[in-house]
Amino acid sequence: MTIANPKLTRRLQLSGLLVGLGLAVEALTMAWSHPTAFLAFLLVGGTLVALGVLLYLYAIVSA
Amino acid sequence: MPYLTESFVAAVLVTIALVALVALRPSLVEARGGRVLAFLALCVLPLLMSAIGVSAQVEHSKSTAFCLSCHVMEPYGRSLHVDDSSYVPAQHFQNNRVPRGEACFTCHTHYTLFGDFKAKLRGLRHVYVNYLGTIPQKIELYEPYNNRECLHCHAGARSFEENDVHKEARAELAKNATSCLECHDTIHNVRGLAGVKMWKEGKP
C-alpha cells in the first residue's frame, strides 16, 4: 500500500528502519553491564534514533 | 534484570511494533489518526524510550559488575573477597553492610545533594579514560576519603556510638578532622593481595 507522495513513503520507511534499528540496539545493550554497552547505547542506538526522528520530521515538513 | 530494564525492553518492543506498522503501511498517514500514530511512533516514543534508556543505563553503571568490568579494577574486585576482616571493603561486602550488587558505588559516591550526579560524571570520565585516555599506574581517589561517607551509615548505629574510641573522637570524626581511615587503615590494599587467603562464598 503506498500513498500519493512516493518520496514521503520512502522517507517514512527509512525513518522507521533507522528508529527501529536504533531502539533494537538500545534494548540489546541493556543485557550487558559494561562500559562498551553504555557507549553502544549512546553512540550507535542514540545516533540511529536521532537520525530516524530527524528524517521523519524532515519528511513531514517537506511533504 | 532490574525492573527498570525489563520495563524499558517491553516498552521498546511495543514502540518497534508501532514503528513497523507505520513503516510497512505508510498509507496510514493519509488519515488524521494515522498521522498522529506516525508522530507518536517515529518521534515521541523513540525520544521518550531513549531518555528512559539513558536513565536505565546510568542505573546499570552503579553496579559492581559494571565497575569491575574494566581490567584495571579487577584487583579491587578481588579485594572484596579477602578472608580477613581487617580489610574494610571485604568486611563490608561479605557481611552485606553494603549491597553487594552496588558495593563500589555505595562507598564511593558522595552523600551530598549532587553526590550521585558527580559520581556519575566521574564515571563518564572513567569510561573515557578506559577507552581513549591513559590509565594511571596507580589508581587514587580524587580527594581524601571523607568521613561523611562512613557516617552516612554508621552514625547512630549502636556498635559505632557505644565504642569508647569513637566516643572520644566523635566530634573530630564529624568535622573530618580525624579520618576514619587513620585507624581502619587496611582498605583495598591491592598490591598485597598475592598471598592472601580468599573467602569463597558458601564454603566455611
In the DSSP assignment, the letter for residue B204 is: -
* Strand partners for B121: none
Query: Mapping DSSP to helix (H, G, I), strand (E, B) and coil, where does residue B1 land?
Result: coil
The mean pLDDT value for B174-192 works out to 93
B14 pLDDT above the threshold of 90: yes
Confidence (pLDDT) at B2: 65
Mean pLDDT taken over chain B: 91
B1 pLDDT above the threshold of 60: no
* 22-41 in chain B: CB under 8 A from chain A: 22-27, 29-30, 38-39, 41
DSSP result, A1-63: ---S-HHHHHHHHHHHHHHHHHHHHHHHHTT--SHHHHHIIIIIIHHHHHHHHHHHHHHHHH-
B184 pLDDT above the threshold of 90: yes
A1 pLDDT above the threshold of 50: no
Residue of A nearest to B69 (CA): A34
B177 pLDDT above the threshold of 90: yes
**CB-CB: which of B20, B23, B46 is closest to A53?**
B46
Question: Are the CB atoms for B153 and B97 separated by under 8 Å?
Answer: yes
**Nearest-CA distance from A24 to chain B in Å?**
8
Confidence (pLDDT) at B120: 84
Q: C-alpha angle with apex B128: B125 to B134, nearest 5 degrees?
A: 100
Answering whether pTM is above 0.90, one says no
C-alpha cell at B25: 503501511
Question: Are the CB atoms for B192 and B84 separated by under 8 Å?
Answer: no
Question: Are the CB atoms for A35 and A29 separated by under 8 Å?
Answer: no
Helix, strand, coil content of chain A in percent (nearest 5): 85, 0, 15
**CB-CB: which of B23, B63, B69 is closest to A16?**
B23
Contact check, Cβ <8 Å, B9/A45: no
Confidence (pLDDT) at B119: 86
The mean pLDDT value for A7-36 works out to 93
Identify the residue among A11, A30, A44, A57 best suited for mutation to test binding to B, counting B beta carbons within 10 A and taking the highest. Answer: A30
B182 pLDDT above the threshold of 90: yes
A3 pLDDT above the threshold of 70: no
The mean pLDDT value for B101-111 works out to 94
Predicted complex ipTM:
0.91
Mean pLDDT is lowest, of B77-81, B120-124, B162-166, B199-203, for B199-203
Identify the residue among B57, B68, B132 best suited for mutation to test binding to A, counting A beta carbons within 10 A and taking the highest. Answer: B57
Q: What is the spatial distance between Cα B170 and Cα A2, in angstroms, rounded to a whole number?
A: 76
B70 pLDDT above the threshold of 70: yes
> Percentage of residues in chain A with pLDDT exceeding 90?
70
* Strand partners for B199: none
Q: What is the pLDDT of residues B26-43, one digit of tens each?
A: 888 889 999 999 999 999
DSSP result, B20-77: HHHHH-GGGGGSHHHHHHHHIIIIIHHHHHHHHHHHHHHHHTTSHHHHHTSGGGHHHH
Q: What's the first-to-final CA gap in chain B, in angstroms?
A: 30
pLDDT band at A15 (very low <50, low <70, confident <90, very high): very high
H or E element in which residue A35 lies: helix A35-39
Higher-scoring residue by pLDDT: B174, B117 = B174
B31, burial (CB in 10 Å: exposed 0-12, middle 13-18, buried 19+): exposed
Contact check, Cβ <8 Å, B69/A52: no
> Percentage of residues in chain B with pLDDT exceeding 90?
68
Mean pLDDT taken over chain A: 91
The mean pLDDT value for B69-76 works out to 91
Count Cβ neighbours within 10 Å for each residue of B127-159 and write b for 16 or more, e otherwise.
beebeeeeeeeeeeeeeeebbebbbbebeeeee
Confidence (pLDDT) at A17: 96
A2 pLDDT above the threshold of 70: no
Contact check, Cβ <8 Å, B23/A13: yes
